[in-house]
Structure 1
């Protein structure tokens, strides 16, 4: 079964554990109830898609235990025998409805389409069908999850049935890890910045995923799986007017000009080197690079440190180049056997390494004509995608492969020099988008983490376009709360609102 194999072959141990636990719950339910007595509530959202494929895998494994040979399942593998309940609503997104019916056709779902409210529709269905248990895609954090366990009887006043919650303990991260690892289709709205989909009247793209297109200047949204903090999953749930001009793009109340001014380009940083991972050397280049990117208004969404291994580099670059505006990679450049960066980048783009005469001339001018063939190895660059970034202050140009910039720096002095050259090139050629810098506020308090946790969580919903973080410089030191954003007015407003949430004198602004 393809789902079971995909999860089994992945390297994500957390996902494997979540998957095995969920499938175990499903198999328990299928052992307790006949197949005619169970149903599956499907709404086209990401959680129910996860549950659908978990049920497919769980049912397959359940049947596998009941037969002696795999071939006995051959004629029924394409059928999904569990009754599927779909509540069709006039308030649903058209994309959700379309995706639901496409999914039903692909996986042979037996749809019971209900057009009443959930409770009334369920009462009518259970009067005519012998359903005793319903699989639900409820997760901790959902409004309906309070007090539920993996097996929970229905609430008083509802028709009697057993609620089965296989993914109750799954996080937002777990959901997307499963979908991306399994490579199963999901609703297109999630690629448009929607992270939690309700009705057309209460759902907008999550502003935490907004970016400005440098070409058109319009606000666009990164896919839902790029949301850094799953606790902000429902930040896109808001009340909208039922009468809306379809020509106006939703931007959480900001104008196009404001959105362009506050856009936040994203970067990933990749360091390559076994010595860093072994703790033999302290990596100063990566953290300094993150600070430099922050200083020009960029946010770093991921910082990977990798083995000097071609496959490791290829996998990381492949993942980051499609989810970040720019990827910066350093380390592992040279003629040594451990210098795997260029080969890894080439593999991630599906191209070969080929000699570059122009780059070889630079290497020759540095190493001299007495050098060995190693310089020729270094002059092999990813074919057809490599752009040399020339600057008079650099003895050898930097390299850019589409949205991947390759730095030669091995220490802070070299990084400072290369960074200054990049900024100059950005100003003259648009290599990097130099955006409005962040405005920051720092607050200090002696309150405990528990005392500040809830107010800070509420602030993240009230101010979704700000970065709100916490840290302590020492174990017993005060808690420092940071608020950062492109809009200085919003940062100040958030600071004042946060101070009001605590008793007077318990929180103060610091420099």
Structure 2
């Protein structure tokens, strides 16, 4: 198993960009992917525009291991994610027999034209089933296509999340009363001396207990621990409130 899988999240919908809907899907996916050990490289929020979706998905697919799209897969005129993905990959839209049968069972023997659109997918698409799902997750190459409804997205993602497990991140934390400026040179020096280690600092202005939280992350637990010990040994002991 590769130690570092990468991903992009693409949120699709005019309703998000116009402020009509509060976006929560990206936040959920960011947290889940981090917990799974996946390195998220980018998050895009784009409109319901055929060319924009096609170009954004195709570009992300070529750069990262996995792409997760949310939104734009219903029966209405502005649900164009699936045909746009087909265009981006240069694939023909075809009626998927299994999806078509599902729609017939779900909607009766004669679903209307708009519902029938939902059975048309890019040629070669995969349907991923898991326990508890009424409809499968559509996968086009390395692109996982999710609905925009947060409850349905979460249920579907959690049902198949095991597919995306990668080597986990090791995270260590230091909480200190030092000012961020006092720590900048030390953090830079420590990060540059430890391969694959990322060090971040996050000032807090309304907490009387500490001023800065330092995070040390790495796929290599030994490197993370060594960087943590290096920082702890050089930050004044009296200023370290706690560690984790």
Report the TM-score, using the length of structure 1 for normalisation. 0.45
Mapped to 2, the partners of 1:409 and 1:361 lie a distance apart of: 23
Q: What displacement does 1:392 show?
A: 4.1
The CA RMSD over aligned residues, in Å, is 2.0
Q: What SS is found at the alignment partner of 2:117? A: helix
**1:489 and 2:228 are equivalent in the alignment:** no
Work out the CA distance in 2 between the residues paired with 1:282 and 1:339. Answer: 18
Structure 2 residue 155 is the aligned partner of structure 1 residue 417: yes
Tell me: CA distance 1:353–1:493, structure 2 relative to 1, closer, same or farther (3 Å).
Answer: same
Q: Are 1:297 and 2:30 matched, yes or no?
A: no
Q: Structure 1 residues 504 and 417, CA, compared in 2 at 3 Å: closer, same or farther?
A: same
Instruction: Mark the CA change 1:362 to 1:471 in structure 2 (over 3 Å): closer, same or farther.
Output: farther
1:293 is displaced (CA, Å) by: 1.2
Q: What CA distance in whole angstroms lies between the structure 1 residues aligned with 2:17 and 2:234?
A: 42
Paired position in structure 2 for 1:389: 128
Counterpart mapping for 1:373-388 below 5 A: 373-383=113-123, 385-388=124-127
Does the CA-based 8 Å contact 2:103-2:111 persist in structure 1? Answer: no
Distance 1:458 1:507 in 2: 19
Runs of 4+ residues deviating >6 angstroms: none
1:300 Cα shift?
A: 0.6
1:507 and 2:240 matched: yes
Q: Which residue number corresponds to residue 276 of structure 1? A: 16
Higher relative contact order (CA 8 A, sep 6+): 2
Q: What whole-Å deviation, never above 9, does each CA across 1:117-165 have from its counterpart, x for those lacking one?
A: xxxxxxxxxxxxxxxxxxxxxxxxxxxxxxxxxxxxxxxxxxxxxxxxx
Check 1:508–1:487 CA distance in 2 against 1; reply closer, same or farther (3 A cut): farther
For 2:177 and 2:87, locate their aligned partners in 1 and report how far apart those are by CA, in whole Å: 51
Task: Give the distance between the partners of 2:180 and 2:189, measured in 1 at CA.
Answer: 14
Q: C-alpha separation between the residues in 2 aligned to 1:386 and 1:332?
A: 17
Number of aligned residue pairs: 241
Q: Verify: 1:356 aligned to 2:87, yes or no.
A: no
Give per-residue Cα distances to partners, 1:213-245, cap 9 Å, x unaligned: x4xxxxxxxxxxxxxxxxxxxxxxxxxxxxxxx
Residue 493 and residue 386 in structure 1: after superposition, are their counterparts in 2 closer, same or farther (change >3 A)? same
Deviation at 1:362, TM superposition (A): 1.3
Can you list the C-alpha shifts for 1:174-226, whole angstroms capped at 9, x where unaligned?
Answer: xxxxxxxxxxxxxxxxxxxxxxxxxxxxxxxxxxxxxxxx4xxxxxxxxxxxx
SS of 2:63 mapped into structure 1:
coil
Alignment of 1:52-451 (within 5 A): 214=1, 263-383=3-123, 385-408=124-147, 410-411=149-150, 413-423=151-161, 426=163, 432=164, 434-451=165-182
Give the structure 2 partner of residue 5 of structure 1. none
Structure 1 residues without counterparts, runs of 5 or longer? 1-213, 215-259, 427-431
Is the 1:398–1:408 Cα contact (8 Å) retained in structure 2?
Answer: no
Counterparts of 1:465 and 1:449 in 2: how far apart (Å)?
22
Change (3 A) 1:510 1:304: same
Shift of 1:287: 0.9
Report the TM-score when normalising by structure 2.
0.90
Please give the secondary structure, in 2, of the residue aligned with 1:360.
helix
Alpha-carbon distance in 2 for matches of 1:310, 1:294: 30
